[in-house]
């Protein structure tokens, strides 16, 4: 038995005219075409729906990189120099990408990682200072790597636990870290910047107990200073 609504609003199929049927088919085809076009657009351009969000993500990611760089390699007191806006990190697996030809030597001393960043002079793009901060895992490894590269005639500097200066660059070790601060220019004015960077980094590195067994195994009497 038909209800009131059924009697009033339902129409028999044979009561629908040919024109109405044709219009219904056209509407269905149009909807199908719209859905298909949208699917093709999304499939061929994955960023179609996410352009705004992706751009915002890139901005936030850039801000995060700057913040991390500032924490690791901070700004200087000298306003003429820009601190790194991005730091690069390398593991033993890809260390060769940064120091190809020398990576094997660091691997022999059990390097854990490398943090790299560059300071830029604000008005002279040719004046930069590169920082290589090696995490050697243990103080004895940092000592071994530091000693293997230290020239015998280098001028000592009081930075970290051991440090020296040569060719305008500063090298030092502290705890399990071995740090190189390397300017590209030869300006005497850059020396103060290199020293400031090195001293600042040394202040951020935690000192650790010296576990070199030879220090306690060999007598201190008549030991040549700085011979280890």
Closest CA to 130 of 64, 81, 58, 71: 81
What does residue 70 show for φ and ψ, rounded to 5 degrees? -65, -35
Higher pLDDT, 204 or 33: 204
Q: Is residue 56 part of a domain?
A: no
Is residue 9 one of the residues assigned to a domain?
Answer: yes
When divided into structural domains, the chain yields a total of 2
Does the residue 93 lie in any domain?
yes
- High-pLDDT (> 90) share of the chain, %: 46
CA nearest 202: which of 167, 160, 140? 160
Secondary structure tally for the chain: helices H, strands E: 8, 8
**pLDDT tens-digit map of 173-211:** 999 999 999 998 766 778 999 999 999 999 989 886 655
Q: Are residues 28 and 88 in the same domain?
A: no
Is residue 29 pLDDT above 70, yes or no? yes
pLDDT of residue 52: 45
pLDDT value at residue 133: 96
Tell me: do 90 and 162 sit in the same domain. yes
Token look-up 């850059």 returns 190
147 and 211 part of one domain: yes
Whole domain around residue 136: which residue ranges?
Answer: 76-217
Is 94 a residue whose pLDDT tops 80? yes
Q: Are residues 81 and 40 in the same domain?
A: no
Of residues 181 and 63, more confidence is placed in 181
What is the C-alpha to C-alpha distance for residues 110 and 141, in angstroms, rounded to an integer?
Answer: 7
Dump pLDDT digits (tens) for 104-133: 999 999 999 999 999 999 999 889 999 999
85 by Cβ neighbours in 10 Å (0-12 / 13-18 / 19+) ranks as middle
Query: What's 81's domain CATH number?
Result: 3.40.1000
Q: Is residue 207 part of a domain?
A: yes
> Are 97 and 20 within one domain?
no
Q: Are 83 and 69 in contact (CB under 8 A)?
A: yes
Residue-wise DSSP of 165-184? EETTEEEEEETTEEEEEEES
**Is 92 a residue whose pLDDT tops 60?**
yes
> What is residue 16's DSSP assignment?
S
Q: How many CB atoms lie within 10 A of CB 86?
A: 13
- pTM for this one? 0.65
């Amino acid at each position: 038995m038909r209800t009131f609504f059924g009697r009033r609003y339902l129409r028999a199929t044979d009561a629908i005219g040919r024109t109405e049927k044709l219009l219904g088919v056209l509407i269905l085809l149009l909807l199908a075409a719209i859905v298909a076009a949208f699917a093709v657009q999304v499939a061929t351009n994955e960023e179609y729906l996410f352009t705004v969000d992706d751009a915002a993500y890139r901005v936030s990611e850039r801000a995060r990189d700057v913040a991390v760089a500032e924490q690791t390699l901070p700004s200087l007191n000298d306003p003429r120099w820009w601190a790194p806006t991005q730091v690069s990190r390398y593991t033993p697996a890809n260390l060769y990408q940064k120091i190809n030809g020398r990576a094997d030597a660091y691997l022999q001393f059990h390097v854990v990682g490398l943090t790299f960043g560059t300071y830029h002079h604000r008005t002279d793009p040719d004046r930069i200072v590169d920082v290589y901060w090696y995490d050697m895992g243990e103080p004895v490894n940092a000592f071994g790597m530091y000693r293997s590269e230290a020239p015998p005639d280098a001028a000592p500097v009081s930075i970290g636990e051991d440090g020296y200066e040569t060719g305008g660059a500063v090298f030092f070790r502290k705890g399990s870290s071995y740090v190189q601060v390397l300017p590209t220019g030869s300006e005497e004015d850059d020396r103060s910047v290199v020293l400031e960077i090195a001293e600042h980094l040394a202040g951020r590195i935690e000192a650790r107990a010296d576990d070199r067994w030879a220090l306690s195994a060999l007598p201190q009497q008549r030991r040549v200073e700085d011979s280890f």
